[in-house]
Amino acid sequence: MLQSVPQCRGDSRRYGEVAIRSGSPSFAALAFRAGLELGVTVTIQQMEWDDEVLCLTLLRSVSRRMMGSWQRPPGSSQTIDTVFHTVRIEDDVMVIAPRRRIDNTRKSLWLHEILEIARAHNCSTIKCITSDRLTPTHHHEALLEHGFTQRSEGVVLGAAVEALDIRTPELLVDTAVTGRSLAAASRLNSALWGWPALDTALVTELLGGLAEIPERQRDKHDVVVWIDGQPAGIGNLAVDGDVATLGEGATLPECRRRGAYTALVDARLGIARDVGCRTVVAHTENPWAEEVLRSRGLEVVDRTKLYTLSEPLRETTDG
């Protein structure tokens, strides 16, 4: 449970203050909106976060590490749900994220199932993300005992939209889907992550398909920031119901420390508000990104670790 004191932001003319002991992000959004209408400052002393929101955020984060599905042939990726995890496989890489709070099962049983799936699909690399809130301590121990290496640490941040300090980006940001923005996104994805560039025919096909979907009904929004007339960075926003997830934004090395990432954050928070989302969440392993997200009102909800295994898979025994 997140210990926080988020407040609604808006008109500075206040006629009173209401402190609410606890509430979910959706409840907080309603309370903040009512407070703005009544001229009352609303404070949520303790935000309660749904495990489902955390699981979705982590799955999207680890999936983002893999190449976009629109660039892969049909059947080259698949998703498998186990009792406690969601497993995504693309080529010979497997990524694992919690799909529910994990109980205190014997520590090797769940890992044995994961390794069996990896063997069956000839996976050479496994990436497993764990969560302080969702993963028991002995599961971390099991990963290390079976040859996994901890690669990084991160944080999940979140807030009700009404509690955010949403600002107008100080740089030019493309939020609309155009031929220019898709071509720029393709070049950036290629430069930043080595993804194959989209050919003209595919750009035209994507543009035609997206043009038929109203902005408020899209489940994914890509934004491109420009510096000196050139695309400098890219970020995405995924929408699931009233929850918006900020994907990891990235900027070209030569454009960093010039406000590009901050502009990407501001633009995506604005989209989340405009399409009617009530909650925004994000996962990052970058301290600078965490600082920017905190500056806009998001607060740490959970902490994560990423483990990888890139060696021949060993048999497991119950522990």
Q: Are residues 77 and 8 in the same domain?
A: no
Domain count, the chain: 3
Please enumerate in sequence order all residues whose Cβ is within 8 A of that of 252, keeping only pairs 6 or more positions apart, or say none: 188, 191, 192, 232, 233
Q: Are residues 186 and 260 in the same domain?
A: yes
Radius of gyration of the chain (CA): 21
Kindly state whether residue 317 falls inside one of the protein's structural domains: no
pLDDT digits (tens, 9 = 90+) for 269-307: 999 999 989 889 999 999 999 999 999 999 998 999 999
Kindly state whether residue 319 falls inside one of the protein's structural domains: no
Q: Are residues 105 and 141 in the same domain?
A: yes
Question: What's the gap between Cα 108 and its chain centre?
Answer: 28
In this structure, which amino acid lies at residue 199?
D
Q: Are residues 152 and 171 in the same domain?
A: no
The tokens describing 150, both together, are 């901890």
Bridge partners, 299 (sequence order)? 158
Mean pLDDT score, 10-31: 55
pLDDT digits (tens, 9 = 90+) for 30-61: 665 666 666 666 665 555 667 778 888 887 78
Buried-exposed string 242-274: b where 16+ CB fall within 10 A, e elsewhere: ebbbbbbbbbbeebeebbbbbbbbbbbbbbbbe
Kindly state whether residue 72 falls inside one of the protein's structural domains: yes
Cα-based torsion angle of the residue sequence 154, 246, 286, 296 in order, rounded to the nearest 10 degrees: -110
In this structure, which amino acid lies at residue 182?
L
Kindly state whether residue 318 falls inside one of the protein's structural domains: no
Q: Are residues 176 and 230 in the same domain?
A: yes
Give long-range contacts, CB 8 A cutoff, 24+ apart: 71-77: 71/195, 71/196, 71/198
- Estimate the share of the chain in helix, then strand, then coil, as percent rounded to the nearest 5: 35, 30, 35
Could you tell me the residue range of the domain that residue 38 belongs to? 2-48
pLDDT digits (tens, 9 = 90+) for 78-123: 888 888 888 888 888 888 888 877 766 555 677 888 889 999 988 9
Among 1-10, 30-39, 81-90, 163-172, the range with the most confident prediction by mean pLDDT is: 163-172
pLDDT-based confidence at residue 267 (cuts at 50, 70, 90) = very high
Place of tokens 């930043």: 192
Kindly state whether residue 59 falls inside one of the protein's structural domains: yes
Kindly state whether residue 55 falls inside one of the protein's structural domains: yes
Kindly state whether residue 263 falls inside one of the protein's structural domains: yes
Q: Are residues 28 and 67 in the same domain?
A: no
Kindly state whether residue 244 falls inside one of the protein's structural domains: yes
CATH code at 201? Answer: 3.40.630.30
Q: Are residues 91 and 202 in the same domain?
A: no
Q: Are residues 38 and 80 in the same domain?
A: no
Q: Are residues 71 and 145 in the same domain?
A: yes
Q: Are residues 74 and 43 in the same domain?
A: no
